[in-house]
Structure 1
């Protein structure tokens, strides 16, 4: 017996968000594979890092090609985004989100097959790579993610990350999107972006270049580093093998939802 991949907690939240495609009356073709079986195949690939063509169809009831298409369909329908917003609202309602401060960071990964949003990485002998950009709350809960080429400077994604944070509901009052403080490392030290952050009513607390280490921000910023370590638990995110940037972004968003669900269940 294989281990259950999709828990009931995840499926109960995701099932209403999956688009329903009516079957054609004339020439209906092969019956559509079960949505839960396809999701189990997707999560198995994301967790283990195997190729889509190596997914055991007899074990999951859906082929690798089917799971690949369902991943693209769910991303186009914004199912992963809606799932993450729902989980963030539940976390805030449970008092598990601290939106008074947000943490920003990025990490590099090699892109074996090139594709969209790749570039020659200055930290990997100019080999093709991509960057994961992440913004979290003060506890390290992922709020928004973006994907860029490996040659892009971290600071260029500071404002897009802030803009990508969804309105987070869960409590009475206006949904919240902006923190009071923003913490970042030296890679985000730029006067122009400090001004842009302040213009949004946020106090930027960013380590300065050219000074000795010991700013003290590491004691506050460590949760975002831990969140990146959680992402490495999804082997499909360690090295980029998807040529299409939207599919890799979909995997990244799905991993965010899994992390949010784990925090909700375990607390």
Structure 2
């Protein structure tokens, strides 16, 4: 008999969570050649790369699936199926179980430093670095339910409406953000959509005084910062090494899926 290959292990998810996620992801259906590895066999190795920040080729060990095999499966999930669909289905489960609090949603942008790739990178004057911008929105407990990617030179403001509007769980009642989102135009557009705002004003000359800003509620912004820390606790997302945005998006969506599964199971 041909010995079966050894498989990687991971502490990112427990076995129940791994089996749940594996059941949500597709498996290639090849009609010729040797049988492909199952999703449950390759998922721990992919999560190992995501968590540790190691290179794909560091998975190359004797009697183990190769790093290229893991990378190809991740690309298959993203290009042929779409990991965002899997994330949205998990969010729908959380929403149906009433584990998402959309009374107040929090939004913020963060920069992931990167090499100067042609695909969605730019120089950020704020951070003095080249990278890719991620605009994330969470519910009041900090569960992320949408993300938008842009080049690093993009300001947070133009990303606010796409981040808020293009989500799969519904419209929040109030948006909580920092001074970077201080804009009368943004407040007007959100109010027309029936969404309230709690955004402090910037300290600039001739800026009119703000009324009805809820300071205790504004202090809850630490929850979006905590979520950004959860995302970047996956060391593969500390710095973008992926040449194409599709590969970087796949890893980011997988990290967001892990965060949501931990709240679901």
State whether TM-score is above 0.5: yes
Aligned match of 1:138: 140
1:182 shift after superposition: 0.7
Task: Say which of 182, 196, 199 aligns to 1:203.
Answer: 196
Matched, 1:41 2:45: yes
Aligned match of 1:52: 56
Aligned match of 2:185: 192
Q: Which shows bigger deviation, 232-241 or 28-37?
A: 28-37
TM-score, L = length of structure 1: 0.84
TM-score, L = length of structure 2: 0.85
1:21 shift after superposition: 3.2
1:215 shift after superposition: 6.7
1:205 shift after superposition: 1.7
Residues 240-262 of structure 1: per-residue CA shift (max 9 Å, x gap): 11111111111111111111111
1:2 shift after superposition: 6.4
Kindly indicate whether the alpha-carbon contact (under 8 Å) linking 2:132 and 2:149 is maintained by their aligned counterparts in 1. yes
Q: 2:27 and 2:223 mapped to 1: Cα distance?
A: 38
RMSD: 2.4
Aligned match of 1:160: 162
Contiguous gaps of at least 5 residues in structure 2: 1-6
Q: 2:183 and 2:85 mapped to 1: Cα distance?
A: 33
Q: 1:33 and 1:264 mapped to 2: Cα distance?
A: 27
Task: Say which of 90, 95, 98 aligns to 2:93.
Answer: 90
Kindly indicate whether the alpha-carbon contact (under 8 Å) linking 1:13 and 1:83 is maintained by their aligned counterparts in 2. no
1:107 shift after superposition: 1.1
Kindly indicate whether the alpha-carbon contact (under 8 Å) linking 2:107 and 2:224 is maintained by their aligned counterparts in 1. yes
1:3 shift after superposition: 4.3
Matched positions, count: 250
**Structure 2 counterpart SS, 1:138:** coil
Matched, 1:229 2:233: no
Contiguous gaps of at least 5 residues in structure 1: 169-176
Q: How does 1:43-122 map to 2 (within 5 A)?
A: 43-58=47-62, 61-112=64-115, 114-122=117-125
Aligned match of 2:21: 14
1:222 shift after superposition: 1.4
Q: 2:190 and 2:115 mapped to 1: Cα distance?
A: 35
Q: 1:94 and 1:233 mapped to 2: Cα distance?
A: 27
Residues 57-97 of structure 1: per-residue CA shift (max 9 Å, x gap): 447x3211111111111112445223322322332344322
Residues 8-60 of structure 1: per-residue CA shift (max 9 Å, x gap): 33333333433343322xxx23432332222111111000001112223447x
Q: Which shows bigger deviation, 80-89 or 232-241?
A: 80-89
Aligned match of 1:174: none
Aligned match of 2:35: 31
